[in-house]
Structures are given as structure tokens and as C-alpha cells.
């Protein structure tokens, strides 16, 4: 990690985490802004949005209608942004990065609409989920359409290596969803099993985005792999923080109910860590919530108190910081410039997000 500054204590969780190794004891609210980070590629992201909209045009009226609804749902576009910034860092200046970024957005959108059906989630970013508005039958087909459309788009260029990578990432994501279903409701899930779900469902796509950027540019194999490792680590940190927000976030800001993961039977890292201590009351609350798909406000407050007492939030956040620092260290061999600055700032944003 020589030459790469460590990520500071810059998130809402840092007050309970500031004594862990590797962080400053001074707690500050992050000034990192996603709009600022994405400024070097703002126009490219706008082109990606237009590309997405253009390719959901269809004589079947529902397809552009739902496609437009998904586009306006408030997504952060982090995955396509990683691809675009990595491509620029690798010296690429053509248009294929726009197309592949749109492909990534299609893949991500497909996984979201399918995930919401599987999770029976009524809301997505504060709005009705697609299946809540149009029904499961239409939404399943729409997700399938988005997957196929993503590959059709990728095939408009004859880069078999990129297409192979996109297919591999998509297969891993679907495998991750299937694996998560086998672990749904499993209160005894291990940390490694949970990490395997995160790798497949989230981290490999982030890694693929950064790697494609390198493949488009003129970098060495080692640098291409470094970009892949960067994206993978950012993805791991992103999902770990996302899991933490279920316990620490504000329902209005998140656009989804608090304790949603646990009520859906998803036991994430803070709870996995807490249950290691064999606290009977913690075990009882978790098992009751997973079984009943509900938790009272009093029991929720009690669970959060137990998480604080046993430093389980601290532990999970510490893992996110480790991945964020690994991501930044992966970029040590790249030249200075606005793209490098943006990619180095992104892990800091990931740690500081509150929604």
C-alpha cells in the first residue's frame, strides 16, 4: 500500500469504529460527493443513459415504459461509471466504453427486477418495485429481456474476450442469487458463506466493469488485473456497507424498510458476528425475526443495542474499510490524473454513504 493513503474514518458508523486499527481517532463527516467524483465522465454517463433509453425502445409499449421507470428510479450508476473511469485511466478514448457501460447497466437492471421479485420487496429506492406496479409475470419477462438485450448489445462489437467476461460475470451473479436462496433463513450461515454470496452477487460485476475498462485501453496484463482487483474490492466494500445500512440507516433515506434483510431471512455480517458470542437473547431475537418475518420496535432496539455492545457493527464496518483500502492500493501503479483521483475517491464515498 506504499504511496496510497489509507481510507479515513469518514462514515456514519465511524463513531463506534474509531478505535479500530488503521483509522484516525478524529471522526469527520465525509465531504466526498458522487457528483464531484463522476465529473470527469459526466457527459459520458449522460450518453450511457441515452444509449440505455435507445435500446429499450420497442413496439411492445410496456418495454420502454418500464425501462424508463427503471432509469428514473434514482440509481447511482456506479458500475458504468467504474467502467468509464477505468477505460479513461487505461488511455481509451473511443465510443465502445459507452456501449459496454450501457450493457453493464442492462445487466444490473435485470438483476434488480428479478431480486425484488425473489425478495418480495415492495419498494426500490423509495418507489414501487417494478413487480409491485406491473406484476410478477411481466417483471420476470422484462428481466429476461434486459439480460438478452445486454448480450445483444455486447455482440455489436467483435470483442469475444469482453463478451466472455460479461457472460461469466452474469452467470456468477445468477449463481449467487441461487446460492443465497439456499442460505435464506439459515441463521447459522458462516462468514465465508456470506462473503461468497457478496462476491457473486455484487463484487464480480464491479470487478468486471473495471477490467473491461482496462481491456479497452492500452495497459499491461498486470494493470488489467489490478483494475479488476480494484473493482472487486470496491464491490465488496459497497455491499458490506449496504448490509450495515439495514441496521444503521434511515428508512426514508434508504427508500426501504429498516430490518428488511433480516425479515427477509438474510443474515448478514453484523448478525453473523454477534451470534458468535452465543448470547441467548440475540439468538432468540434473530431466529424469531427470521421465522416470523417481523420484529417489533422494542425487539429491534434491543438487537441494535446487542450489536453495539459486542462491536458487531464495528467488525463489519472494519471489513468494509479493509476492502476499501485494498481497492485503493490496487491502483498504485497507475499515472496521476483526474481519472485516478476519481477512482481513489470512490472507496471513500462507498464508506461514507448513508443510503
- The pLDDT, as a whole number, for residue 115 is 85
Task: Report residue 80's pLDDT band, with 50, 70 and 90 as the boundaries.
Answer: very high
Mean pLDDT of 108-124: 84
- The pLDDT, as a whole number, for residue 9 is 35
pTM of the predicted model, to two decimals? 0.87
Query: In percent, how much of the chain has pLDDT > 70?
Result: 88
Mean pLDDT of the chain: 88
Mean pLDDT of 159-177: 95
Written in H, E and C, the secondary structure of the chain is CCCCCCCCCCCHHHHHCCCCCCCCCCCCCCCCCHHHHCHHHHHHHHHHHHHHHHHCCCCCCHHHHHHHHHHCCCCCCHHHHHHHHHHHHCCCCCCHHHHHHHHHHHHHHHHHHHHHHHHCCCEECCEECHHHHHCHHHHHHHHHHHHHHHHHHHCCCCCHHHHHHHHHHHHHHHHHHHHHHHHCCCCCCCHHHHHHHHHHHHHHHHHHHHHHHHHHCCCCHHHHHHHHHHHHHHHHHHHHHHHHHHHHCCHHHHCCCCCHHHHCCCCCHHHHHHHCCCCHHHHHHHHHHHHHCCCCHHHHHHHHHHHHHCCHHHHHHHHHHHHHHHHHHHCCCCCCCHHHHHHHHHHHHHHHCCC
Task: Report residue 127's pLDDT band, with 50, 70 and 90 as the boundaries.
Answer: confident
Task: Report residue 6's pLDDT band, with 50, 70 and 90 as the boundaries.
Answer: very low
Q: Which domains does the chain have, with CATH numbers?
A: 35-347 (1.10.600.10)
**Highest mean pLDDT pick, 144-153, 200-209, 346-355:** 200-209
Is the pLDDT higher at 33 or at 282?
Answer: 282
Q: pLDDT tens digits for 325-344?
A: 999 999 999 999 999 999 99
Mean pLDDT of 218-246: 96
- The pLDDT, as a whole number, for residue 32 is 65
Q: pLDDT tens digits for 16-44?
A: 333 333 333 222 334 468 999 999 999 99
- The pLDDT, as a whole number, for residue 10 is 34
Amino acid at each position: 500500500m506504499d504511496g496510497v493513503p489509507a481510507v479515513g474514518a469518514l462514515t456514519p458508523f465511524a463513531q463506534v469504529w474509531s478505535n479500530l486499527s488503521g483509522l484516525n481517532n478524529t471522526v469527520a463527516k465525509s465531504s466526498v460527493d458522487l457528483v464531484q467524483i463522476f465529473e470527469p465522465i459526466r457527459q459520458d454517463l449522460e450518453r450511457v443513459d441515452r444509449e440505455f433509453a435507445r435500446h429499450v425502445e420497442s413496439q411492445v409499449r410496456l418495454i420502454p415504459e418500464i425501462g424508463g421507470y427503471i432509469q428514473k428510479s434514482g440509481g447511482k450508476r456506479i458500475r458504468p461509471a467504474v467502467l468509464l473511469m477505468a477505460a479513461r485511466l487505461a488511455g481509451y478514448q473511443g465510443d465502445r466504453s459507452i456501449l459496454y457501460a450501457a450493457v453493464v447497466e442492462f445487466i444490473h437492471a435485470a438483476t434488480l427486477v428479478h431480486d425484488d421479485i425473489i425478495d418480495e420487496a415492495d419498494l426500490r429506492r423509495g418507489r414501487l418495485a417494478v413487480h409491485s406496479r406491473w406484476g410478477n409475470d411481466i417483471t420476470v419477462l422484462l428481466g429476461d429481456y434486459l439480460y438478452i438485450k445486454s448480450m445483444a448489445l455486447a455482440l455489436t462489437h467483435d470483442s469475444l474476450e469482453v463478451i466472455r467476461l460479461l457472460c461469466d460475470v452474469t452467470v456468477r451473479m445468477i449463481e449467487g442469487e441461487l446460492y443465497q436462496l439456499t442460505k435464506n433463513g439459515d441463521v447459522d450461515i458462516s462468514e465465508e458463506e456470506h462473503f461468497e454470496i457478496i462476491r457473486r452477487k455484487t463484487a464480480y460485476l464491479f470487478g468486471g466493469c473495471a477490467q473491461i475498462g482496462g481491456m479497452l485501453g492500452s495497459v499491461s496484463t498486470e494493470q488489467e488485473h489490478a483494475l479488476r482487483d480494484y473493482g472487486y474490492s470496491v464491490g465488496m466494500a459497497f455491499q458490506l456497507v449496504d448490509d450495515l445500512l439495514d441496521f444503521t440507516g434511515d428508512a426514508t433515506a434508504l427508500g426501504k424498510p429498516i430490518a428488511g434483510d433480516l425479515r427477509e431471512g438474510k443474515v448478514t455480517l453484523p448478525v453473523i458476528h454477534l451470534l458468535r458470542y452465543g448470547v441467548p437473547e440475540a439468538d432468540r431475537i434473530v431466529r424469531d425475526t427470521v421465522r416470523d418475518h417481523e420484529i417489533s420496535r422494542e425487539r429491534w432496539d434491543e438487537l441494535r443495542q446487542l450489536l453495539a455492545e459486542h462491536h458487531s457493527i464495528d467488525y463489519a464496518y472494519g471489513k468494509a474499510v479493509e476492502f476499501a483500502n485494498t481497492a485503493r492500493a490496487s491502483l498504485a501503479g497507475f499515472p496521476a490524473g483526474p481519472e485516478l483521483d476519481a477512482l481513489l475517491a470512490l472507496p471513500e464515498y462507498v464508506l461514507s454513504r448513508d443510503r
